[in-house]
Amino acid sequence: MLKRLTILTLCFLMITGVFTGCGNQPAGTPQDEPKEQEVPKELAAVQQVVAGLGRDPGEIYGYGAHPPLTRVLEPLIFQDLELGLIPGLAVQWNASGDGLTWTIQLREGVQFHDGTPFNSDAVIHNLWRISEMSPGRFGPVEKIEALDELKIEVTHSEPFAPFLYSLGWAGSAMISPDAVNEDGTIEEPIGTGPFSRESWTPGEEMVLARNDSYWGGTPKLERVTLKYIPDPTTRMMALEAGEIDMIIDTGGVLPEQVPTLNLHPEIEVLSIPGAVPHYMTLNTREWPFNDQQVRKAVMYAVDPESIIQYALEGYGKVMTTVTPHSEKNWMHGDALYKYNDPDKARELLEQAGWMDSGSGILQKNGQELRVKFLLSSALVGRWPYGTIAEIVQAQLRDVGIGVEIEVVEAGLWRETLKKGEANMSIRPWAGISPQSRLHEWLHSKGENSAAMGIFFNNQQIDQLIETLLMTTDENAAKELAYQIQEIASIEVPIIPIYDEVLINAVRSNIKGYKLHPWFTMNWEEIYVESVQ
């Protein structure tokens, strides 16, 4: 009996030993001298890359090819690395004095992948298609006219300030009119980009082939394969083993994986501040967050700094106003949102009549201050929301607010929030333009107000936002945006938790990749260096 138990124990110890051993031993051999780097390198004979990512690049937007990730489809206006608007398929644009009429000059000599010429007709077809699909995307459009083969004119009934940003939005990409079915669905994404979609196996991979007649010059890569690898650990290990050349997309590399990847001299980890802020939302219609004092207390209780340090391994930026760093021209200079002051939070709650009942959870009129924090499982899989929620839970508990975390499947999450049956949630939001961001989150009819169960209703802010959308003068618009941000920080319907820092990783023979805040891939500039 004893003998067998010993054998059994030995078995377990051996297994533990093997596993921990594997864990501690960094894969690869960092002590190898990477001296060859000084030798000038040449282009590899085969210009192909395989990139891994955590979602199916074909399933997004319903176009069969995610515009920034695949670059099969391109919008009229591009955004540079600082998110400034630069010419894309449109080369020039200007507005009339009253801000109602926009004239857009299109690029010459561009063709869709199917050979259809890119011209005014194609653009008009696209603009109407998109407007029908998502009303209001391009503002109150009255008419769109072709002035000539390569010039169009868009007339609004009221000024619509974020118009150019709307044209630059990934969802406003140009698709060959021939590729659109009568009911508006698209099976084959036929665009103008440096690569065309050669094949797509849903849930598996997408192969992109070089567009030899790309208007921006022939890309160096012949072929790009995008591999959908759902499990982040598998994805990382595939890069380590050299089976994929790069990990792309937001949420491609998770912050926790960076130390492991850094052990490999042949892998380069890239990171830049992204254009994706993450917001915590409060349900301002229902008890207890219908009380502005309680919402403010939550703001004082949370500490984004510690969230960034401990849940994001430092890959994030604290936001002090609802406008993110990527829109720095529109961002209020003062630190409007104030965090990490639990004493102030307790004081506010006490002023609002909340008493400690002895259990550590505050009480008012016999009701305990307990709230439901609802998370979407789809988002939890891509960002460390679970960990963030646990930190928030501990921080709110510290000031006497009990938080119950619930992670549900994405559809149920939306449904529950819409009905107002949760008290708080968290989600990322890219936002089409600085102006529309404020409208989406803070206006009583903004799409996130109802969809995220915020129900914030403030007449003053509504008016300011409506004026902002029509204000084309930049200085006046910024003044309005500042005012709106100030009110938001006083009323606290949402709490900006952090600005994301994007992390991607590439093998070091892949050159020319520049990480874009919108995770837009510059496939036309990437090339493979030969490994010696």
Partner 1 sequence: MHDLVIKIVESGPPFLEMIKRLKKHKLAITGLVIITALCFIALFAPLIAPHDPDKLHLAHRLLSPGDGYLMGTDNLGRCLFSRLVFGSRITLLVGFFVVAITSTVGVALGAIAGYRGGIIDEIIMRCVDVLLAFPGIILALVIAGILGPSLFNIMFAMSVIGWTGYARVVRGAVLSVKEREFVEAARSLGASDSRIMFRHILPNVMAPVIVMATLGMAHVILAAAALSFMGLGVQPPDAEWGSMLNAGRLFMRTAPHMTVFPGLAIMITVLAFNFLGDGLRDALDPWLKETG
Partner 2 sequence: MTHYLLRRFCAMFFILLCVSIITFSLMHFVPGDPAEIIAEKKFGENVTTETVELVRREMGLDRPIFIQYFRWIAGVLQGDFGSSSSTGRPVWNEIMTKLPATAELALTAMLVSLVIAIPVGVISAVKQYSIMDSVSMVGAMLGVSMPNFWLGLLLILVFSVNFGWLPVYGRGEITQLILPALTLGTGIAAVTARLTRSSILEILKQDYIRTARSKGLIETAVINRHALKNALIPVVTVVGLQFGALLEGAVVVEVIFAWPGLGRLLFDAIYARDFPVIQGCVFLIAVMYVIVNLIIDISYAWLDPRIRYEVK
- Chain contacts with partner 1 (rule: CB under 8 A): 1, 4-5, 8, 12, 15-16, 19-20, 22-24, 26-27, 232-233, 254, 256-257, 259-260, 306, 309-310, 377, 380-381, 386-387, 389-391, 393-394, 405-409, 412
CA 383 to mean position of chain CA atoms: 10
6 forms part of the interface with partner 2 (CB under 8 A): no
Which of these ranges, 23-31, 138-146, 148-156, 351-359, lies near partner 2 under the rule CB under 8 A? 23-31
Query: Which one among 27, 394, 490, 531 touches partner 2, defined by CB under 8 A?
Result: 27
User: Which residues in 74-133 contact partner 2 (CB under 8 A)?
Assistant: 133
202 forms part of the interface with partner 2 (CB under 8 A): yes
Query: Which one among 233, 290, 359, 463 touches partner 2, defined by CB under 8 A?
Result: 233
Inter-residue contact 494 to 284 (CB < 8 Å) = no
202 contact, one of partner 1, partner 2, none, CB 5-8 Å limit per kind: partner 2
Which of these ranges, 81-89, 201-209, 316-324, 346-354, lies near partner 2 under the rule CB under 8 A? 201-209
Angle at the Cα of 167 from the Cα atoms of 161 and 168, rounded to 5 degrees: 105
329 contact, one of partner 1, partner 2, none, CB 5-8 Å limit per kind: none
Task: Give every CB contact of residue 48 below 8 A, 6+ residues apart in sequence.
Answer: 221, 222, 223, 224, 225, 528
Nearest residue to 331 (alpha-carbon basis) of 228, 477, 485: 485
**In whole angstroms, what is the distance from residue 375 CA to residue 353 CA?**
29
**In whole angstroms, what is the distance from residue 444 CA to residue 228 CA?**
38
Inter-residue contact 520 to 72 (CB < 8 Å) = no
Query: Which one among 107, 156, 227, 443 touches partner 2, defined by CB under 8 A?
Result: 227
415 forms part of the interface with partner 2 (CB under 8 A): yes
269 contact, one of partner 1, partner 2, none, CB 5-8 Å limit per kind: none
Inter-residue contact 253 to 53 (CB < 8 Å) = no
With CB under 8 A, what is the number of residues at the site for partner 2?
Answer: 51
**In whole angstroms, what is the distance from residue 409 CA to residue 401 CA?**
25
Residue position matching structure tokens 């921006």: 216
Strand locations in 283-383, DSSP E?
A: 316-317, 355-356, 362-364, 367-368, 370-376
234 contact, one of partner 2, partner 1, none, CB 5-8 Å limit per kind: partner 2
Nearest residue to 166 (alpha-carbon basis) of 138, 144, 125: 138
**In whole angstroms, what is the distance from residue 320 CA to residue 335 CA?**
5
Inter-residue contact 500 to 342 (CB < 8 Å) = no
Residue position matching structure tokens 């630059």: 168
**In whole angstroms, what is the distance from residue 529 CA to residue 532 CA?**
9
Q: Which CB atom, from 228 or from 289, has the smaller least distance to partner 2?
A: 228
30 forms part of the interface with partner 2 (CB under 8 A): no
241 forms part of the interface with partner 2 (CB under 8 A): yes
**In whole angstroms, what is the distance from residue 66 CA to residue 193 CA?**
12
**In whole angstroms, what is the distance from residue 213 CA to residue 109 CA?**
10
Compute, in degrees rounded to 10, the torsion defined by CA atoms 187, 191, 194, 195. Answer: 10
Q: Is the dihedral of CA 229, 231, 234, 235 positive or negative?
A: positive
Q: Is the dihedral of CA 127, 128, 131, 136 positive or negative?
A: positive
Beta bridge pairs of residue 225: 50, 207
Site string for partner 2, 151-190 (x = CB under 8 A): --------------------x-------------x-x---
**In whole angstroms, what is the distance from residue 145 CA to residue 422 CA?**
47
Query: Which one among 93, 169, 228, 315 touches partner 2, defined by CB under 8 A?
Result: 228
Q: Which CB atom, from 92 or from 134, has the smaller least distance to partner 2?
A: 134
Number of neighbouring beta carbons within 10 Å of residue 177:
16
Least Cβ distance, residue 136 to partner 2 (angstroms): 9
24 contact, one of partner 1, partner 2, none, CB 5-8 Å limit per kind: partner 1
Q: Which CB atom, from 134 or from 218, has the smaller least distance to partner 2?
A: 134
19 forms part of the interface with partner 2 (CB under 8 A): yes
Q: Which CB atom, from 448 or from 471, has the smaller least distance to partner 2?
A: 448
**In whole angstroms, what is the distance from residue 149 CA to residue 415 CA?**
46
Q: Which CB atom, from 224 or from 311, has the smaller least distance to partner 1?
A: 311
187 contact, one of partner 2, partner 1, none, CB 5-8 Å limit per kind: partner 2
Q: Which CB atom, from 115 or from 202, has the smaller least distance to partner 2?
A: 202
Q: Which CB atom, from 7 or from 39, has the smaller least distance to partner 1?
A: 7
Q: Which CB atom, from 225 or from 363, has the smaller least distance to partner 2?
A: 225
Query: Which one among 108, 145, 334, 409 touches partner 2, defined by CB under 8 A?
Result: 409
Which of these ranges, 13-21, 103-111, 162-170, 513-521, lies near partner 2 under the rule CB under 8 A? 13-21
Q: Summarize as ranges the residues that interact with partner 2 (CB under 8 A).
A: 3-4, 7-8, 11, 15, 18-19, 22-23, 25, 27, 56, 58-59, 61-62, 64, 133-135, 171, 185, 187, 201-204, 227-231, 233-234, 237-238, 240-241, 243, 377-378, 409-412, 414-416, 447, 451
